[in-house]
Amino acid sequence: MRATRIGICEDDAGLRSLLTRALVDEGFEVRAVPGGRLAVQEFSAAPPDLLVLDVGLPDADGRDVCQALRAHGVEAPVIFLTARGELTDRLSGFHAGGDDYLTKPFALAELLVRIQALLKRVNLAEEPAVRGELRLDPAAHGARVGDRVEALTPTEFRLLAALAARPGDVLRRHELVSAAWPDGAIVHANTLDAYIGRLRRKLRALGAAAEIATARGVGYRLR
Q: Assign 3-state DSSP to the chain and report helix, strand, coil percentages, each to 5.
A: 40, 20, 40
Q: Where are the domains of the chain?
A: 5-119, 135-222
Please count the other Cβ atoms lying within 10 Å of the Cβ belonging to residue 120.
7
Place 126 in a pLDDT band, splitting at 50, 70 and 90.
very low
pLDDT one-digit tens code per residue, 147-191: 889 999 999 999 999 999 888 999 999 999 999 998 888 899 899
What CATH topology corresponds to 5-119?
Rossmann fold (3.40.50)
pLDDT one-digit tens code per residue, 60-73: 999 999 999 999 99
- The sheet carrying 135-137 orders its strands as 135-137, 142-145, 148-151
What is the per-residue pLDDT for 122?
66
Query: Does CATH number 3.90.1150.10 belong to domain 135-222?
Result: no
**Could you tell me which residue, 89 or 122, shows the higher pLDDT?**
89
CA distances to 61, 144, 198, 206 from 140, rounded to whole Å, are: 11, 10, 18, 16
Query: Above 90 in pLDDT, residue 22?
Result: yes
What is the per-residue pLDDT for 59?
94
Place 1 in a pLDDT band, splitting at 50, 70 and 90.
low
Q: What dihedral angle (degrees, nearest 10) is formed by the CA atoms of 114, 120, 123, 127? A: 20
Query: Above 50 in pLDDT, residue 130?
Result: no
pLDDT one-digit tens code per residue, 34-83: 999 999 999 999 999 999 999 999 999 999 999 999 999 998 999 999 88
Query: Above 50 in pLDDT, residue 114?
Result: yes
Answer whether 5-119 and 135-222 agree in fold.
no
This model's pTM is above 0.85: no
Percent of the chain with pLDDT over 90: 70
Phi/psi at 31 (5° precision): -125, 130
Q: Parallel, antiparallel, or unpaired for β 135-137 and 142-145?
A: antiparallel
